[in-house]
Copies of this chain bind each other. A is one copy, B any other.
Amino acid sequence: MALNVVALAGGVGGAKLAHGLAEILSPNTLTVIVNTGDDFNHCGLSISPDVDTVTYALAGLAHPQHGWGRAEDTFQALSTLAQLGGPTWFQLGDLDLGLHLFRTGKLRAGMTLTQVTQAVCQAWEVAAKVYPMTDDPVRTMVKTPGGELPFQEYFVARECEPTVEGFRFAGIETAVPAPGVLHAVDQADLVVMCPSNPWVSLDPILLLDGMRISVGQKPVVGVSPIIAGKAVKGPAAAMYADLGIEPSALAVASHYQDLLDGFVMDVQDASLADEVRAYGMKVAVTDTIMRSTEDRVRLARDVLHFVDAEVLG
């Protein structure tokens, strides 16, 4: 297809649909704008989990089961960290470490995260454009009864156990979209909100100065990350529940109702379709679970056919 598509993505779910879109769209027509609120410094290294997950997926290097990290990675460095009593809660693969070293070195030498990401995509021959949402530091903080936790600490170290009371995106007030991001949205025929966590993956992107307005001027279609009340991966469902909202595709559609022109939800949630339509958006019901590359391509195709037939039509 010749559509210019911008995909907004967090980690695993977003990366899978971005990969599916990349497989069927014409080269140079896909731009993926990726959440950086999860970025953190670990043992001196600048780590951008979502950007890496998307890049690995598009480069064909991702671990096929985990969705994060690299296929056939080893964990020798982590074994040393374990021997020494260092932090092992964040799984640093050896191949993966090379990317963190590259990024950290280049950032320290004055490159921006956007430039580093471009260099990585070029080296690994990723045809899609991948942008971090911003080059400025934005750090997602999860509010819990015990105080604020940086996202990675909540998500990985504490395994989503603390009750979520809200979120704060430290730095979001002064952060600006990375160079190229607003232009990509302006040039887009369609914005796809990937099946990523609304609270901590997509909200930070949309909260950046100018983003919500720019995205709102385009046809927007979302894919639910919640299926049958559960998140395929990650804490989205638990967050909805902690915040007193029943986790469902309906809740996701409601979250973005002012932006969405179309919404894609899983066959397991077909009974909610009419309620979603009541928000004033078109609805497609299909199989949204992506276990294989074929699933990713099929869902991407379903999304684009739906857009072509019902949203842009």
* Chain A positions near chain B (C-beta within 8 angstroms): 41-46, 73-74, 76-81, 83-87, 92-99, 101-102, 104-106, 108, 119-120, 123-124
A123-B84, A123-B85 known; A79 vs B105 contact (CB < 8 Å): no
A124, B86: Cα distance in complex, Å: 13
Question: What residues of chain B lie closer than 8 Å to A120, measured between beta carbons?
Answer: 84
Cβ 8 A contact of A101, one of B77, B98, B105: B77
CB pair A97–B99 under 8 Å, yes or no, is no
Question: What residues of chain B lie closer than 8 Å to A73, measured between beta carbons?
Answer: 76
CB pair B74–A86 under 8 Å, yes or no, is no
CB pair B86–A98 under 8 Å, yes or no, is yes
Cβ 8 A contact of A105, one of B43, B46, B105: B43
CB pair A76–B95 under 8 Å, yes or no, is yes
CB pair A45–B85 under 8 Å, yes or no, is no
Cβ 8 A contact of A99, one of B46, B80, B99: B80
- A44 to chain B: closest CB distance in Å? 3
Given contacts A44-B46, A80-B99, list 16 more A-B pairs with CB under 8 A. A42-B105, A43-B108, A44-B44, A44-B101, A45-B101, A45-B104, A76-B94, A76-B95, A77-B95, A79-B98, A81-B102, A84-B98, A84-B99, A84-B119, A86-B101, A97-B97
Question: What residues of chain B lie closer than 8 Å to A77, measured between beta carbons?
Answer: 77, 94-95, 97-98, 101
Question: What residues of chain B lie closer than 8 Å to A83, measured between beta carbons?
Answer: 98, 123-124
- A45 to chain B: closest CB distance in Å? 5
A96, B41: Cα distance in complex, Å: 20
CB pair B74–A105 under 8 Å, yes or no, is no
Question: What residues of chain B lie closer than 8 Å to A42, measured between beta carbons?
Answer: 101, 105
A85, B116: Cα distance in complex, Å: 11
Cβ 8 A contact of A74, one of B41, B46, B74: B74
Q: Give the nearest-CB partner of A108 in chain B.
A: B44
Q: Give the nearest-CB partner of A72 in chain B.
A: B76
**Minimum-distance CB pairs A-B, first 10:** A80-B98, A44-B104, A76-B94, A43-B105, A43-B101, A86-B102, A77-B97, A77-B98, A94-B94, A44-B44
